[in-house]
Every structure is written in structure tokens, then in C-alpha cells.
Amino acid sequence: MKGRVAVLRAYEGEFELREYPVPDPEPGAILIRLTRAGICGSDLHIWRGEMKDVYGAPPRDLTFGHEMCGRVERLGAAVTTDSLGQPLREGDRVTFNYVFPCGRCRVCLHGEMADCPRKARPIRVAGTPPYFNNAYGDYYYLRPNHFVFRVPAEIPDDVATPVNCALSQVLYGLTRAGLRQGDTLVVQGAGGLGLNAIAVARDMGADRIITIDRIPGRLDLARAFGADHALSLDDLPTPERRIQAVRDLTDGFGADVVADLVGYPHVIPEGLRMLRSGGTYLEIGNIVPGSVFSYDATALVRGNARIVAMANYSPWALGEALAFLRKNLRRVPFDRLVSHVFPLERISEAFRQADWQRHEGDALRISRAALSMAT
Ligand SMILES: [Zn+2]
Ligand SMILES: [Zn+2]
């Protein structure tokens, strides 16, 4: 039996679909037949060549993609349950972590595996056994004894696809930032991360949620996801005016938590100035090397500011994210997040579309595309 893997050989270029033999899972491993994969902002960074420092220039038979869900095709010996102890059988829908904390180092022992300095990353060179190491392919080989969660029946695939990235990431980040009942939150950027953050913060008991973006479609969606105030960059064209707007909406104090979910470092100084004294800045957005900003350290000291920066999340967050989804399916229109679904064989077109939407900022579209592997 063979399965397809999408391979990128030139940045901003076409993908090539290659076939590889589908492996049998070793004891403890799981072979998953993927049904959906998402095109995330970070995948676009990779496709555009903005992460050459990491993946080489030119890319070396690059295969990637990290947002996905699928069905258990075959269970390795001794796998009988998911990470929450629920029985796991062939055919069950699952989601899983795409980075692999070692679980055996002094940082992991502190209890937050997101911080593991030895966490293994996905294999990104096509043709490396067990071949199915990323989201853009027919299968995924989940390495032995890794974290995996059964997807509740009521959560459709399109909603489940970004759970292992955006949703778990913001749920984890807001928890680490210490967001509490009654807090005010500013979300910079109402893209995939931002919209999920709004919905999660509402569920966590935030009192007032303010978001800032330029694209009208995203601002509408932000309100539907639970934002009290969706501010447009077109109405407030300068940082000074946006900072003042946040002050006005927080009784002059500034926000308890401000989260950068944009991905460009120039928003950070502005966001830091939106904090109340003693507030927390949550940095998640920037993942491209060389994203430099400058800020007055004395202003941080005088503002008693706390900065929390997060890459990835601890496995517990994925389990909680599924529970959050099940609880909020009726309240939040998660099904509006993915606007375009392309079959895997049209992956090149899907990337061009997703990228075009980002640059043009078409008000009528949402910038989320997904791939379908269903046959
Ligand atoms: Zn992602
Ligand atoms: Zn570790």
C-alpha cells in the first residue's frame, strides 16, 4: 500500500505529490489516515521562504503541515486508550500534538512539557522513514507512546483540524499569562489565533475583550467569537489613537493582558503600551527568525510589566481544547473559520489562494484554507 506526500522543492513554488510505502505501526505507535489538514500562518511563512534559516535555501525536499485530524488506521501493539484513558479503536477520529517533548529532562519534570529544550520536531525532509511525518499527506505516523486524543463525535473535521495548533496554543498561552475571571484582554490580530483566543478568553471569564485588525470580515467574525469591541486599523490609523482607544475602554487603566497574535514585531511596542500597570504581555505571534523590536526597558520597569512568550503547548492543553470546543460548539461559529477546502492534489492552488487572501485582505473572505484527503 502506498500513500501520497506533498513535497515543496522551491519557495513560493508548486508542490509535487510523491508516493511512499505506508508503514505498519511499531508497538506503541499509531498509523493515522488523515482526513483534513489546515494551512496555518506559519505554513505560509515556510512556503514563502521566510524560514530559510531553518529549512535551507533552496528547501531540501521539504514536507510540512502541522494542523490535521484523521482516523486511526492501525494501532501498534499495546495501544488501547488515548491520553485521557478513553478506549481507542481503529476508525476512531483523533487529534494529536505535532511536537514531541522528551518527558525525561529536568525541564519536563517541572511539569510544563511545552518548555522542553529537547523536544523533537517533525522530520521535514521527504522520503525519510516512516515517510508520513507531517500534515500534507494521506497518512500520519504517530511515534510510539505519544499524546493522542479521541475527537468527540459532535465536533466535525473542519472544526477539529486547527485544534492541535491555534486553539491549543492560545488556550495554553492565556493560561500561562494568568488571564483570570473579570480581566480585560486586548487581542492584536483577529486571524486564526486571535479568533480562537477571543472565544477561549470569553470562556475563561474575561470581562472585556478588545481586538484590533484591518480586515472587516475578521472584525465581524471577532464579534461573533465573543469580542466586545472590534477596532479597525482604518478607523484608528496611528498607534497613539489605538492606545488611547484601549485606555478609554478600560476606564483609563489599560488592559490586564495584551496578546500579540499578529506575527509582525512592530505591533509589540504598541501592545506593551496598552497594558495596565502590572499587566501581562503575551507573545505568541512571531515565529520568523530576525523579528526584532525595540522598547524602553525603563518603561517596562516602571510599568511593572510581565512578558510571557510561548511556542507550542503542553499536551494537557489539547485535551482541554477539545473539551472547550464541545462545550462551546453552539455558542461560537467555529465552522466559519475555514472558508475554503481544497483536495490534496490542489495544494499548490490552496497555498496561492491563502497567500493572496492575506495580501489583498479581501473583506468578503476569511484567510483560512484547508486540504481534504478524503477519497
Ligand atoms: Zn498552525
Ligand atoms: Zn524534556
| Region label for 90, one of left (φ > 0), alpha (ψ between -120 and 50) or beta (otherwise) | beta
pLDDT digits (tens, 9 = 90+) for 172-210: 999 999 999 999 999 999 998 999 999 999 999 999 999
Q: Closest ligand to 111 CA?
A: 2
Residue 348 CA, ligand 2 centroid: distance in Å: 36
Residue 247 CA, ligand 2 centroid: distance in Å: 41
Least confident range from 90-99, 238-247, 353-362: namely 353-362
Distance, in Å, from the CA atom of 262 to the CA atom of 277, rounded to the nearest integer, reads: 23
Distance, in Å, from the CA atom of 279 to the CA atom of 253, rounded to the nearest integer, reads: 10
pLDDT confidence of residue 364: 46
Residue 136 CA, ligand 1 centroid: distance in Å: 13
The residue type at 323:
A
pLDDT confidence of residue 58: 86
pTM, full prediction: 0.94
Residue 240 CA, ligand 1 centroid: distance in Å: 31
What mean pLDDT do residues 355-363 have?
Answer: 62
Residue 108 CA, ligand 2 centroid: distance in Å: 4
Residue 316 CA, ligand 2 centroid: distance in Å: 15
Q: Does residue 130 have a cis bond before it (omega within 30 degrees)? A: yes
pLDDT digits (tens, 9 = 90+) for 111-162: 899 999 999 888 999 999 999 999 999 999 999 999 999 999 999 999 999 9
Q: Closest ligand to 103 CA?
A: 2
Q: Closest ligand to 104 CA?
A: 2
Q: Which three cell numbers mark 198?
A: 477571543
pLDDT at 366 over 60: no
